[in-house]
Every structure is written in C-alpha cells, then in structure tokens.
Amino acid sequence: MLSFLVNGGGMGAAIRAYDWTQTALGSPSDWPTPLKTLISVVLGSNQPMFVAWGVEQTLLYNDAYATILANKHSNALGRPFMQVWSEIEADLIPIVEQAYAGLPVHMDDITLMMNRRGYVEETHFAFSYTPARGKDGIVQGLFCACTEITEQVLAERLRAADTERQRRLFEQAPGFITILRGPEHVFEFANATFRRLFGEREFVGKTVREAFPELAGQGFYELLDRVYQSGERFVADHVPILLYPSGSQPVERVLDFIYEPVVDETGTVTGIFVEGHDATDAHRAATELRESEERNRRIVEGVKDHSIFTVDDRNRVLDWTPGAEAVFGWSAEEIQGRSADILFTPEDREAGVPAEELATARQKGARMTSAGTCAATGAASSRTGPFAPSTTPKVQLPDSSRLPVTRQSAGLSRRHSVTPNSASDWPLRPQTTRYGTGTSPQTTFNGMKR
C-alpha cells in the first residue's frame, strides 16, 4: 500500500479502492509528489479539506468534507470540482481561477446557495484556497481548508433581528434607556427619551466619559466601572446629577435608574443596560410636601389651646400633640395607648357617648360634644365643639388596621362661636390630614373650655 494513502477513515478507503486509471490523474503510484503530500495532509485532518488537481480540477477530499457534500458525497470523488458544485459554479469560478493563477484566496464568510440535500439552501463558509504547484513551480491545482459556519451566521442573524425588534420597543419607552458596551462604556444605543433628557450629543460610538465630561467628580464613572467589574446590579433612587447642555447654563436633575450588567453565554460581563426615569418633578414635589408638613407641624405644636390627637378603630390614642396636653392635662407618655374614653365624664362613658359620637361623626359628617374630664384635677369640665370628619389621600401606616381619627380642641371664651370654618381652624387643617388612610374619616373637635 502506498504510504500517503494509509488510514484516512472512510475516504482513505474510498480513495484506495477507486480506479484512478480511468481519470486524468492515472495510478496513485504515478501521482506527483506535491499531490501525494497534500492527500496525506487531507486524510490526516479532522477539518473539512479537499484538493482539486489538474486541468479538470479532479476532486479528492476527507471524511469531514464528505459531511459538507451531504447527498453529493456518493458521486463526488474523482469528478471535476465544478461539476460537483454546478449550482454555485458562478460563485466559484472567480475564486478558483484566482487560485489557479497563483493567488491565494481567503474569506471569513462566503454565502453559497447549495443544493446538496434535494433542495436549495443558504450556506456560509470560512475558507482558504491555496495554489498547489508542481515540481516546475507551475500551479497544478488548489488546496482548500474550510469550515461551515451556516448555523452561527443564521443564529447571529436571528439575534440581530431580535435585538433590532427589542430596540424599536426601547425607542418608544417612556423611560430613558441606553446600552453600553465594554469596559470603557461605549454607547451602542440611546432611546428617544434619553436623547431628549440629556441632549443630542451623538452618543452612539462614544464612551460615557466622552459624551458626558461634566460627570467627572459626580461618581457616575466609578459606579459604571464597579458594576462592570463586579457584575452586580446597582439601583439608584432620587440621585442628583448636574448636566451642562450645549450652550446653556448648568441644569440639575434628579434620577431614578438601574445599572444592569449584560453577560454573554459564559457569564462574562460585556456591557451595561441602563434604564431609568427623570424624577426631578416628583422629588421637588416630595421636598415641598415635607417642608409644608414640617411648617404645619411647627404651627400645630406651637398652638397650646388647640389639641390634635389620633385614635385607632378601638378608640386608643395613637398620637398626642403639645396642644392636646395643654387642653386635657395628660402628657403623651401618660395617654398614648390608652382609650380616649377617659376624655369623657364617667356618666358619658357609662352612657356610651364616646362610641356614639365617633360613629355619628363618621356616618353623618359631624357630631357636637360638650363634656370632658381634666387630668390635672380629675374634675368634669366641658369642651364644646363639633367632630368633623375629612377625607385624605391614602398614606401607608405601620399597621393598616389603624383607622385614625383626629380631634382638635380649641380653648375659647364663652362668648366665641365655634364652627368648622372658624378662622382659628384653618392653620390646623393641613396637619390633621397626615394621619389619614384611604377614605378613613378624621374627626376634628373644636370647642371651648368652661
């Protein structure tokens, strides 16, 4: 047996058994040394390889290339290369002629519409054609090593289509979205909301540092670096950012956003997905609300002849202001957690007046009261005025079972008329609303001590 035809699997056996005397190549023992060498390389390789030799471009190949031939394999060995691949002849002629002219050819991706399984299919290959020369230096054929990449190309095409479809959705999103690539945080995508919020800076292709030089010293570069290096998500809530739009004065915004690491199939971080919202208006409103509540708190706590306190659905005192202490005599430590029934005379408590007044106020919108007990003396006294419920926005409380009721008591002289619209009531109304939940009533008591 000829040494260059040893082994080679199925194709080695097929080449040894083939009657080459009926071809232009003649007996294998008479083949030129370059051809014998190439056939030895082809049969010893696991990569798809073939040789086209001579003027007729006679085809010889290995087991791996037989897989590429598919149904053509049974009738391809020893035939002219162009006849075997007649359906793609127009694509092959230019590159085969180039190789036979002595110029190597290399392509990372060539698209060929092959018919190798009884139907035409799109295929993709990475390959190289190397001119094969005889003893006299003249090109006698070509040697090809190739890899089919059809599955990879089609999969990448599907991924690209999915990405494009996803980014069309991102483009219309109400929040700002951007996608950053690599450790330098290069912009791959920025949606319309992002461009409107941060200005048209031609983001794509720039690094974050190039697009936003004003962020130096604000901590955002460092946050991105940390997320990329650690692979851990970062969530920000009401974070201020100072921007310098082109041709304008510095602008401070407040943002809610997420930095989400993007990882590949191996779990390696390849970029960062950024999504968020402009929270400037909400932050400003919340700040103004807190300031307003603080002002109202100071007003309420500064008024000593008015009381505001809250009770739960069992009439237990939850909150007790300095005004309530001044009017009723109990300190917050003494009365919190106790039943507000103690603010009524024993006779009224025995008659069920506290529960009746609260129920009436909640159902009918108001209830007058005219009795009470002073903690300082233990004696019965009178505080006259209405309980008036109000509806407030829902606020989350530590215990949702608590249904607050607020009483407001005013120590007024006997000759004053007291109504829910009394001028003395207005400074206190905003503060009473902070204890409400949903549509639970808040009962305001205005009265005079007699």
Q: How far apart are CA 191 and CA 173, in angstroms?
A: 8
Q: What is the pLDDT of residue 370?
A: 54
Mean pLDDT of 144-156: 96
One DSSP character per residue, 25-74 reads: T--GGGS-HHHHHHHHHHHT-SS-EEEEETTTTEEEE-HHHHHHHGGGGG
Nearest to 428 by CA among 410, 440, 415, 413: 410
For the CA atoms of 284, 288, 293, 294, the dihedral, rounded to the nearest 10 degrees, stands at 100
Q: What is the pLDDT of residue 304?
A: 66
Q: How far apart are CA 235 and CA 255, in angstroms?
A: 11
pLDDT-derived band at 202, boundaries 50, 70, 90: confident
Q: What is the pLDDT of residue 217?
A: 93
The count of C-alpha atoms lying within 13 angstroms of the C-alpha of 55, restricted to the half-sphere facing its C-beta, is 1
pLDDT reading at 394 higher than 60:
no
Q: What is the mean pLDDT of the chain?
A: 81
Phi, psi of 345 (to 5 degrees): -70, 155
Question: H or E element: which one contains 188?
Answer: strand 186-190
Q: How far apart are CA 51 and CA 145, in angstroms?
A: 9
The pTM of this model reads 0.53
Mean pLDDT of 273-294: 88
**Domains in the chain and their CATH numbers?**
3-148 (3.30.450.20), 164-278 (3.30.450.20), 303-445 (3.30.450.20)
What single-letter DSSP state applies at residue 183?
T
pLDDT reading at 194 higher than 90:
yes
pLDDT tens-digit map of 56-87: 999 999 999 999 999 999 999 999 999 999 99
Q: Say if residues 46 and 64 touch (Cβ distance below 8 Å).
A: yes
pLDDT tens-digit map of 362-380: 777 655 555 555 554 555 5
- For residue 310, list its beta bridge partners: 319, 406
pLDDT tens-digit map of 415-426: 222 233 333 333
Q: What b/e string do you get for 400-418 counting C-beta neighbours within 10 Å, with b at 16 or more?
A: eebbbbbbbbbbbeeeeeb
Q: What is the pLDDT of residue 85?
A: 97
Q: What is the pLDDT of residue 422?
A: 34
Distances (CA, A) of 441 to 59, 68, 351, 363, 423: 93, 80, 23, 9, 22
Q: How far apart are CA 41 and CA 50, in angstroms?
A: 10
Q: Say if residues 197 and 278 touch (Cβ distance below 8 Å).
A: yes
pLDDT tens-digit map of 43-58: 999 999 999 999 999 9
In this predicted model, which residue has the larger pLDDT, 106 or 384?
Answer: 106
pLDDT reading at 102 higher than 80:
yes
pLDDT tens-digit map of 237-280: 999 999 987 667 788 999 999 999 999 989 999 999 999 999 99
Q: How far apart are CA 18 and CA 41, in angstroms?
A: 19
Q: Say if residues 52 and 65 touch (Cβ distance below 8 Å).
A: no
Phi, psi of 420 (to 5 degrees): -60, -20
User: Lowest mean pLDDT: which of 90-104, 119-133, 221-235, 366-380?
Assistant: 366-380
Q: Say if residues 439 and 362 touch (Cβ distance below 8 Å).
A: no
What single-letter DSSP state applies at residue 150?
H
Q: At what angle do helices 33-43 and 9-17 cross, to 10 degrees?
A: 140
- From the centroid of its chain, how far is CA 156? 22
Q: How far apart are CA 317 and CA 232, in angstroms?
A: 46
In this predicted model, which residue has the larger pLDDT, 154 or 402?
Answer: 154
pLDDT reading at 381 higher than 70:
no
Q: What is the pLDDT of residue 443?
A: 43
pLDDT reading at 235 higher than 70:
yes
Distances (CA, A) of 405 to 49, 127, 315, 318, 358: 88, 82, 8, 9, 8
Q: How far apart are CA 133 and CA 140, in angstroms?
A: 5
pLDDT reading at 388 higher than 60:
no
Q: How far apart are CA 10 and CA 43, in angstroms?
A: 10
Mean pLDDT of 78-97: 97
- How many residues make up the chain in this entry? 450
User: Lowest mean pLDDT: which of 171-180, 201-210, 331-340, 411-420?
Assistant: 411-420
User: Which residues are within 8 A (CB) of 300 and not within 5 positions of it... i.e. 6 or more apart?
Assistant: 306, 308, 321, 323, 427, 428, 431
Q: What is the pLDDT of residue 409?
A: 38
